[in-house]
Copies of this chain bind each other. A is one copy, B any other.
């Protein structure tokens, strides 16, 4: 027993580099779904400029950061709360609102489950089926909502890449509104969707006060190391609950500096959307050429892949690829998946080709 806890998530290049005695920089990380452009140049500049200011505590109200988000999404300042990554807000949602039960469509990001359980909230699962390409049907979901006090929608969903149109979210929201069911919509990957407005639920907040939309800088703005997320809601109940449980200064000043500048970096935003759109298509096509692989179509910056050859497991494939300098996400520990599934991030052309080559070398087309 020790304080160390290996992550069950993607992105743990440290463990891999320790285990395989390779340098972290020599591993191309397809296991975490991060913008391949890295930090925005304006964000980088602002962080360096504000380094000396870290001798002060962060503004406990994070006004400048919240103003930047307010401008970026055209939402009122007072509807925005910032967090130490989206993770902090997910945990705060369950800890402060204490729903007795929550419906979670699976497979999905595992922290909803953990956050709910730690807050004493019972979890009920709604299985997204492989035969439906893991697509969520709002009608089916609604039939399973009876009796729960909250529902989580990850949109686009991790690890499946499927997206629920705003129209269907609205149908679910109507049902939830009538029955006072809280809705947590995690849009950590929504900026990667080609037509963002097709999915983004921010526009629904005015009509549905039982809803919080959570977003992250982590993925699209490429700063998982710096920890920055935010939530938007018009619900006084949700605002007051989260605020009363929030720890002071949870967002560090450098992440705030990066976020403020990144939201204004229009060139970076445009370039990021474009590279993911092009490379997602390319990587999907290339992966489809392997007879032993089945990639699922995706709206996000990652692709879920099924290994059709029963002789090879996702964990074995992950191990096999590491010596080629490629780290994939073994997706077998997602509830609702098994050891035939892995997930890869969409990266830039050079990296994506490295993945395709490694897959060819380790197993053949």
Interface positions of A (Cβ within 8 A of B): 1-7, 9-15, 18, 24, 29, 32, 34-35, 38-39, 44, 47-48, 51-61, 63, 66, 77-81, 84-85, 87-88, 91, 111, 118, 222-227, 236, 239-240, 242-250, 252-255, 258
Contacts and interface: CB of A to CB of B under 8 A. Distances in A.
Contacts of A79: 3
A48 B254 CA distance: 11
B250 A60 contact: no
A3 B81 contact: yes
Contacts of A9: 57, 60, 248
22 contacts: A1-B239, A3-B66, A3-B79, A5-B246, A7-B57, A9-B57, A9-B60, A14-B61, A15-B61, A38-B52, A44-B51, A54-B223, A55-B222, A57-B224, A58-B224, A84-B227, A87-B247, A87-B250, A118-B245, A225-B254, A227-B249, A254-B254
Contacts of A10: 57
A186 B340 CA distance: 48
Contacts of A7: 57, 60, 248-249
Nearest to A254: B254
A3 B248 contact: no
Contacts of A239: 1-3
- Chain B CB within 10 A, most for which of A13, A59, A79, A81: A59
Given A55-B34, A57-B11, A60-B7, A250 B84 contact: yes
B54 A225 contact: yes
Q: Which of A2, A44, A56, A224 has the most CB of B within 10 A?
A: A56
Contact of A12 (B1, B57, B253): B57
B78 A56 contact: no
Contact of A6 (B55, B58, B60, B236): B60
Contacts of A63: 4, 14, 18
Given A39-B52, A57-B11, A252 B226 contact: yes
Given A1-B240, A225-B254, A55 B39 contact: yes
